[in-house]
Structure 1
Amino acid sequence: MLGDNVYYLALSWAAVRAGTPAQAGLVMSASALPRAVLMLGGGVVADRFGPRRVVIGSDAVRCAAVLAVAALLSLTRPGLWPLALLALVFGTVDAVFMPAVDAVFMPAVGALPARLTAQDQLARVQGMRGLAIRFSNVVGAPLGGLGVALGGAAAAFALAGLLIAVSVPLLLSVRIRDLPKHRTPGPAGQPPALARAALAPAGGGRAARGDAPEASVSEASGAAWGEVSDASEAAVGDVPEAPGAGRDVTDRAAGTVWGDLRDGLRHIRRHRVLAPLMLVIALGDLGFVGPLNVGLTLLADHRGWGASGMGWVLAGFGTGAGAASLLLTVRGRLPRAGLVTGCACAAGSVAVGALAFVPTLAAAVGTALLVGLLTGLSGALCGALLQTQSDPARLGRVTAASSLISLGLTPLSMPVAAAAIGAWGLGPVYAVSAAVCGLGGLVALVVPALRRAELPG
């Protein structure tokens, strides 16, 4: 993550120096398209080949690409094309590996924790990862600036490449265990269901070793993992499918990528906890991204706080989010995780809306600290629930769907928020954003299975 922060600073600096502002903007956004297009496929790759080998391979590719551009920039002045190519490579590799800011997990990285530690420690892992993210955000940008100051963009790219290179042997030293044999305890704390080994079809031992998952999972296995059966779907008003219709049984039996992808999406759609949890994540991000990104810049300018004032507000937010990560790291598990998630999301939405109405910079910093604490806590708990409720063999695909929501869809709210602020002002837009974020908390509180969801103890 330190290398990623240095890389982004170096890329933006080199793009601005090599072209016009519009061209620099295109270079900076070049990674977004492959990331959005390939994200779900990245989840299939992580589940098929195992997250450890995908993470190591992706990290090595990113390291080689950054060092190659560093060498090219030190020897020649090639213009924008190598920067655009590097951004495309990063975007492609991001879709299967790169961790994103603010506790959002990419497919392979999101699938690793369940194979590294017991499920009752996953919330603690989320907390430690949040602390690592905050540290890298604070230290990475100054490191990149120092690299640019001492040797230009080439030196900064070289520094980023070396930092990423150090992570490769560290990843090689990581040893993962087999996929869990039993399902995660249900939302109400029910005892584990049948072992997955008993439910898996013949020849499914590769998933137990951490390699490619089984080509198909039986309907009984899906029900054991909290999925809704056809009968229960009909009971809540869904139209049952005709035998074989839309089931892509052939695709899944053949182990095609498309079949695996549809199987993962079906797992989310039918799951009593994962389906509403995805909606909570989407609503929370949609209500949060606009006000805390473009909205905060416009707010600081409107209030006359300037760039330094905006920096203090962001520091308050980072401090609150870091405190939430530290809480999870120390405690390891919070009881009533689903209920706490809903309450924290709802309370955080009130704090988000209040940002537009605080009169002084000190009050804004305090409010931002509260926003970081509450949204950081709800976000980390969402990540922990996502991992503990998912079928381990489908965890990469579940994480990919969550990452697509957070990194592919919710950023689209930023230009909309900016245009809305220009048309109606800060107050109404912050109020609407807070209401959207609050809807996420309401979903978590009104859906019984999610409200009663617990982290393993």
Structure 2
Amino acid sequence: MSEAPVKAPPEVPVRAATMWGRVGLLLTGQGVSLLGDQVFFIAAVWAAAQLAGTAAVTWVTLAESVPRALAMIFGGVICDAFGPRAVLLRTTSVRIVVLAVAVAIALSTQSVLLLVVVAALEGAMLGLGSPSFGTLMPRMVPRDKLSTANSVRTMVARFAPILGSPFGAWLVATGHLSVALMVVCGGCVVSLLCLTPATKSIVAPRTVSSVPLWKRSGDGIKLLRADRRLRLLFLSGLFLDFAFAWPMNPGLPEVVIERGWNVSAVGLLIACWAAGALVSAGLGAVLGERVPISVRLVGSGIGIGFLLIGMILAPSLLVMAVLAVALGICSGQNGPAAVTLYQQAAPMDRLGVAMSMVSLSGIGCAPIAYAVSGTIASLTTPTVAWICSALLAFGGPVAAAQALRIPPTERA
């Protein structure tokens, strides 16, 4: 009489634990790296201002942003060609070397030229690596867990400015630029140590294209033109990025000054928004897919439009702060949901160029939004410019609603 087969213990929980362990390791490294990035940005700007005034701040800012935007054009193509793991390990390693050299130089001398060179190299490496990092979650977690993973990632990203900004400012204010650079370098080392084992299972692409990389720089635009669902999701994010850019950056200080409030009101409102987004992202990580995508994407987008208008029409700073918290809650739901749906809609073999377009959307629209809204503010008032920006936010949920009506398999 044959023995009954002994059932092996279920492997799914083990695999799930391993998966979330790798995600946790990856996000730990990212959190430390983002903290260092924020320290670097604040330290570089403050040091530049102390060394040579506002003109130096402009040069440092341009040195970081322009190479970063240009590198993103090729970052997605390089990711699809060589795989995200190879790109991220190399860009992070280059950052460590650059920052280590900068620390050695800053110990003996400080100059705007040093800050500009380091900012340019940092921006270029971040631009090359950003699309690759955006492709990791779809490769590490199943589709039904992608929303949870992106919500956790959003939470990690929200902590960086809260902790990094005051720390970086304090380091430079006390005359320790070299220490600030050392902190950034250490963050990159931690990121590399976490990234290496966390992405070990991600293999490089097996097919190699014969088309030169420079000729493939427009693949992201071609992908959006060919895929209507992906194009609408991109436009949804673009509308919201444009609507947020001026009000929550140069517009906010202008409004505060116009109303005669103290400069601390700017920090209060940004902190309220960040706190709301952090809590909302946490709820998204806990609830996962239990909240309908239409609520997380379309409903929150409509809420963002109304809350932006409500903030500028608020009769007092207290009401404006409460609305800023609500705005952060909507943002914390909309952002992860939009990224998740976009990642799911993009073809896996072209996920790099798809994510490069998302990254370019956030960075590329900001200067245009500043110029347009700033012109409106100079011709009218900051309040009018804020309302005009806020009205654009409603284009986000409209485009998202149209995208949700298209079946995922329908590409054209």
Range of TM-score over shorter length: 0.7 to 0.9
Aligned mate of 1:164, from 144, 166, 188:
188
RMSD value, Cα: 2.1
Q: d(CA) in 2 for partners of 1:372 and 1:7?
A: 25
How do 1:141-290 and structure 2 match up within 5 A? 141-177=165-201, 210-212=203-205, 214-215=207-208, 254-258=210-214, 260-290=216-246
SS in 2 for 1:156: helix
C-alpha displacement of 1:265: 3.2
Q: d(CA) in 2 for partners of 1:150 and 1:312?
A: 24
Q: In the alignment, what sits opposite 1:426?
A: 382
SS in 1 for 2:366: helix
Q: In the alignment, what sits opposite 2:300?
A: 344
What amino acid maps onto 2:249 in structure 1? Answer: N
C-alpha displacement of 1:44: 0.6
Q: In the alignment, what sits opposite 2:152?
A: 128
Structure 1 pair 384–315 and aligned structure 2 pair: CA distance change class (3 A):
same
Q: Is the 8 A contact 1:115 1:176 kept in 2?
A: no
What amino acid maps onto 2:392 in structure 1? Answer: V
Give the TM-score normalised by the residue count of structure 1.
0.77
What amino acid maps onto 2:118 in structure 1? Answer: L
C-alpha displacement of 1:414: 1.7
Q: In the alignment, what sits opposite 2:255?
A: 299
SS in 1 for 2:376: helix
Structure 1 pair 12–445 and aligned structure 2 pair: CA distance change class (3 A):
same
Aligned mate of 2:117, from 68, 72, 85:
85
Instruction: Give the percent of matched residue pairs that are identical in Structure 1 and Structure 2.
Output: 25
Q: d(CA) in 2 for partners of 1:438 and 1:453?
A: 23
Structure 1 pair 322–119 and aligned structure 2 pair: CA distance change class (3 A):
same
Asked whether 1:313 is paired with 2:266, we answer: no
User: CA-to-partner distance for each residue in 1:165-197, whole Å, 9 max, x for gaps?
Assistant: 22211111213545xxxxxxxxxxxxxxxxxxx
Aligned mate of 2:287, from 327, 331, 340:
331
User: CA-to-partner distance for each residue in 1:136-188, whole Å, 9 max, x for gaps?
Assistant: 2211123223433555211111122112222211111213545xxxxxxxxxx
C-alpha displacement of 1:258: 4.5
SS in 1 for 2:47: helix
What amino acid maps onto 1:139 in structure 2? Answer: L
Q: d(CA) in 1 for partners of 2:200 and 2:169?
A: 36
Aligned mate of 1:20, from 50, 53, 57:
53
Q: Which runs of 5+ in 1 are unaligned?
A: 98-105, 179-209, 216-251
Runs of 4+ that moved beyond 6 A: none
Structure 1 pair 263–134 and aligned structure 2 pair: CA distance change class (3 A):
closer
User: CA-to-partner distance for each residue in 1:275-332, whole Å, 9 max, x for gaps?
Assistant: 1011111111111111111111111122222121221111110111112211221112
Asked whether 1:7 is paired with 2:40, we answer: yes
Q: Is the 8 A contact 1:47 1:213 kept in 2?
A: no
Q: Is the 8 A contact 1:47 1:212 kept in 2?
A: yes
Give the TM-score normalised by the residue count of structure 2.
0.86
Q: d(CA) in 2 for partners of 1:261 and 1:88?
A: 21
Q: In the alignment, what sits opposite 2:365?
A: 409
Q: d(CA) in 2 for partners of 1:67 and 1:368?
A: 39
Asked whether 1:443 is paired with 2:402, we answer: no
Structure 1 pair 31–59 and aligned structure 2 pair: CA distance change class (3 A):
same
Q: d(CA) in 2 for partners of 1:385 and 1:427?
A: 34
What amino acid maps onto 2:90 in structure 1? Answer: G
Q: Which runs of 5+ in 2 are unaligned?
A: 1-33
C-alpha displacement of 1:361: 1.1
Asked whether 1:41 is paired with 2:41, we answer: no
Q: d(CA) in 2 for partners of 1:443 and 1:213?
A: 35
What amino acid maps onto 1:214 in structure 2? Answer: T
Q: In the alignment, what sits opposite 2:8?
A: none
Structure 1 pair 262–314 and aligned structure 2 pair: CA distance change class (3 A):
closer
SS in 2 for 1:293: coil
Q: In the alignment, what sits opposite 1:67?
A: 100
Give the number of equivalent residue pairs: 376
Q: Is the 8 A contact 1:13 1:153 kept in 2?
A: no
What amino acid maps onto 2:128 in structure 1? Answer: V
What amino acid maps onto 1:23 in structure 2? Answer: A
Q: In the alignment, what sits opposite 1:57?
A: 90
Q: Is the 8 A contact 1:272 1:449 kept in 2?
A: no
Q: d(CA) in 1 for partners of 2:57 and 2:404?
A: 48
User: CA-to-partner distance for each residue in 1:242-299, whole Å, 9 max, x for gaps?
Assistant: xxxxxxxxxx6x2332454444433322223211011111111111111111111111
Q: Is the 8 A contact 1:339 1:444 kept in 2?
A: no
